[in-house]
C-alpha cells in the first residue's frame, strides 16, 4: 500500500467515529433532544394538532402565556468568579421536606392524551427524581392508582371547588387514605378561560375521531393507534360520582362551567382546612394583596400561577410577581413559582428572586408526548445538570445560598 493511502486510512480512522447503532427508537429520539424546545418540536410532530394545541395553547391572544416565558428571558445574571464551586448542592426544600431539585410537577388534567401511561409515568419519574408530583382532580388516573404506581413518591392532590362539595370532601379523604402529602386548591378557575385554539378545532375531551379530525388522526398513526388500543380515557377521580366522568366527549369549557363553583371564597379555604389536617397550597395567586390574605388565612404555601396563561389573558407574568410577593410575605408562607419554566436556569432565577420552589406543566407534557416516561426522566436529568452548571457559573455553591445579588438589571429590547 502506498504511503499516501496509508496516511489517508490513518486519518480516516482517527476522524470517523461511528456511535453504536441504537436499535431502540425512543432512545434514538432522545439522543437528539437537548432541551424543552426540542421536546416541544417532537411533541408537535407526534401528536394530532388538536391534542398538541390543547397542551401548548393559552387563553385568547396568549399574551400571558408568552409573558410567562419572556419574563425569564429578560433576566440577566451577575456571575461571580473564583469562588470555589467544586462541590455544588442543587437540592431544595418544600413544605419543610427535602427534594433533589426545587421543582414540583404541576397538576395537568387529562395527561393520558399525551401518552397512554399518563399520570402514572409522570408520578414514577418524579419518584425516581425525588421531587413531588401533583395529581389533578381532572386526572385520567385515580388517586389510588397513582399511589400504587408510585408508592414512595411525594404526592400532592389538586382540587377544584366542585359545586358538589361532598365530592370534594370524598376526594380529600381518599387522598389522606393514600398518604398524599398536601392538597393544592386551584383558585384561578372560577370560570373557564377562553382557549381559542381549542374552539377553532372543536376540540373535546377525550378527543373524538370524526370527519374533522380523521385526517389529523391518520397523519399521526402512532398516537392514534395507541389511543385506540388503550383503555378509554376518563376523569378517573370522579367515576361514578354523578357529575359525568368524561367517558363520552365533553367540551371542557361547558363541563367546567357547569361543575365548578364560581362563588368560591376565602371561607372555602377554612372549609378545606376542616377536612384536611396536612399542608394546604393555594394555587393561582396573582397579586401581592391576595398573597397577604393567603398568609393571614394560615395556609402553608401559595403557588403564584396564572394557570400557564390558560385563564385570564393579560394576567401578570409569574416571575415578575416572585420578588414583590417574597418581600411582602416571604417570611410567613412558602412561595411556589409556577409558569413559564423551560430551563434549569429559570428555576435558579426564580429561587434567586425569592421563591421557595418552582412548578410547571408543559415542559413535562412535551417530554411525555415526545418520548413517554423516558422523556420525562431525561427532562429532569437535563434540568438537574442545568441547575448545577448555572450555580457553578454564577459562583454559588448551593440553592440555599441563592439571593437576588446574582440577578442583574432586566434585559430590555432597545
Ligand X SMILES: Cc1cc2nc3c(=O)[nH]c(=O)nc-3n(C[C@H](O)[C@H](O)[C@H](O)COP(=O)(O)O)c2cc1C
Q: Which residues, 91 to 110, sit near ligand X by CB under 6 A?
A: 106-109
Q: Smallest Cα–Cα separation from 341: which of 72, 30, 31?
A: 72
Nearest-CA neighbor of 113 among 214, 194, 217? 217
- CB of 43 vs ligand X, minimal distance in Å: 11
Residues 6 or more apart in contact with residue 37 via CB below 8 angstroms:
342
Specify whether 384 is catalytic. Answer: no
For ligand X, the binding residues in 158-187 under the rule CB under 6 A are: 158, 186
Which of 40, 234, 307, 362 is flagged as catalytic? Answer: 307
308 belongs to the binding site for ligand X (CB under 6 A): yes
Q: How far is the CB of 111 from ligand X (least distance, A)?
A: 8
Dihedral angle sign, alpha carbons of residues 153, 120, 373, 335: negative
Is the link from the previous residue into 292 a cis peptide, with omega within 30 of 0?
no
Segment lying near ligand X (by CB under 6 A), choices 9-17, 24-32, 82-90, 303-311: 303-311
Q: Which of residues 23-82 bind ligand X (CB under 6 A)?
A: 55, 68
Q: How far is the CB of 66 from ligand X (least distance, A)?
A: 10
Phi/psi zone of residue 309: left (φ > 0), alpha (ψ -120 to 50 degrees), beta?
Answer: left
Does position 341 interact with ligand X (CB under 6 A)? The reply is yes
Q: Are 287 and 187 in contact (CB under 8 A)?
A: no
Q: Residue 47 Cβ, how far from ligand X at the closest point, in Å?
A: 12
Cβ(100)–Cβ(210) under 8 Å?
A: no
Q: From 42-50, 87-95, 338-346, 373-381, give the range in contact with ligand X by CB under 6 A.
A: 338-346
Closest CA to 308 of 411, 127, 186: 186
Question: Whole-angstrom Cα distance, residue 144 to residue 268?
Answer: 25
Check residue 205 for interaction with ligand X (CB under 6 A).
Answer: no
Angle formed at CA 380 by CA 357 and CA 316, multiple of 5 degrees: 45
Candidate list 340, 354, 372, 375; residue touching ligand X; CB under 6 A:
340
**In the complex, least distance from residue 160 CB atom to ligand X, rounded to whole angstroms:** 7
Residues classed as catalytic: 307
Residues that bind ligand X (CB under 6 A): 55, 68, 106-109, 136, 138, 158, 186, 283, 305, 307-308, 310, 338-341, 360-363, 365
Amino acid at each position: 500500500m502506498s504511503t499516501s493511502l496509508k496516511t489517508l486510512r490513518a486519518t480516516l480512522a482517527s476522524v470517523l467515529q461511528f456511535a453504536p447503532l441504537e436499535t431502540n427508537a425512543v432512545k434514538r429520539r432522545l439522543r437528539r433532544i437537548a432541551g424543552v424546545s426540542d421536546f416541544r418540536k417532537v411533541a408537535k410532530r407526534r401528536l394530532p394538532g388538536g391534542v398538541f394545541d390543547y397542551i401548548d395553547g393559552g387563553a385568547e391572544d396568549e399574551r400571558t402565556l408568552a409573558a410567562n416565558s419572556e419574563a425569564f428571558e429578560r433576566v440577566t445574571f451577575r456571575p461571580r468568579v473564583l469562588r470555589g464551586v467544586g462541590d455544588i448542592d442543587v437540592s431544595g426544600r418544600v413544605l419543610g421536606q427535602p427534594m433533589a431539585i426545587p421543582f414540583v410537577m404541576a397538576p395537568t388534567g387529562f395527561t393520558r392524551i399525551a401518552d397512554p401511561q399518563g399520570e402514572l409515568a409522570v408520578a414514577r419519574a418524579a419518584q425516581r427524581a425525588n421531587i413531588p408530583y401533583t395529581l389533578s382532580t381532572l386526572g385520567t388516573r385515580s388517586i389510588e392508582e397513582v399511589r400504587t404506581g408510585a408508592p414512595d413518591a411525594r404526592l400532592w392532590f389538586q382540587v377544584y371547588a366542585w359545586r358538589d362539595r361532598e365530592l370534594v370532601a370524598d376526594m380529600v379523604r381518599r387522598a389522606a387514605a393514600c398518604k398524599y402529602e398536601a392538597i393544592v386548591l386551584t383558585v384561578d378557575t372560577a370560570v373557564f378561560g377562553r382557549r381559542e385554539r381549542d374552539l377553532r378545532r372543536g376540540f373535546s375531551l377525550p378527543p373524538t375521531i370524526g370527519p374533522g379530525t380523521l385526517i389529523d388522526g391518520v397523519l399521526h398513526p402512532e398516537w392514534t393507534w395507541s389511543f385506540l388500543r388503550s383503555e378509554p380515557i376518563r376523569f378517573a377521580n370522579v367515576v361514578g360520582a354523578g357529575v359525568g366522568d368524561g367517558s363520552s366527549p365533553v367540551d371542557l369549557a361547558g363541563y367546567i362551567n357547569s361543575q365548578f363553583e364560581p362563588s368560591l371564597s376565602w371561607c372555602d379555604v377554612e372549609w378545606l382546612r376542616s377536612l384536611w389536617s396536612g399542608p394546604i397550597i393555594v394555587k393561582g395567586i396573582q397579586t401581592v394583596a391576595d398573597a397577604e390574605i393567603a398568609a393571614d388565612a394560615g395556609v402553608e404555601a401559595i403557588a403564584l400561577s396564572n394557570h400557564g396563561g390558560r385563564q385570564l389573558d393579560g394576567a401578570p407574568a409569574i416571575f415578575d410577581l416572585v420578588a414583590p410577593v417574597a418581600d411582602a410575605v416571604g417570611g410567613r408562607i412558602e412561595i411556589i413559582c409556577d409558569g413559564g419554566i423551560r430551563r434549569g436556569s429559570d428555576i435558579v432565577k426564580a429561587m434567586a428572586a425569592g421563591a421557595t420552589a418552582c412548578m410547571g406543566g408543559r415542559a413535562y407534557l412535551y417530554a411525555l408526548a415526545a418520548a413517554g416516561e423516558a422523556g420525562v426522566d431525561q427532562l429532569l436529568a437535563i434540568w438537574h445538570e442545568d441547575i448545577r452548571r448555572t450555580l457553578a457559573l454564577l459562583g454559588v455553591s448551593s440553592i440555599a445560598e441563592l439571593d437576588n445579588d446574582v440577578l442583574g438589571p432586566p434585559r430590555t429590547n432597545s
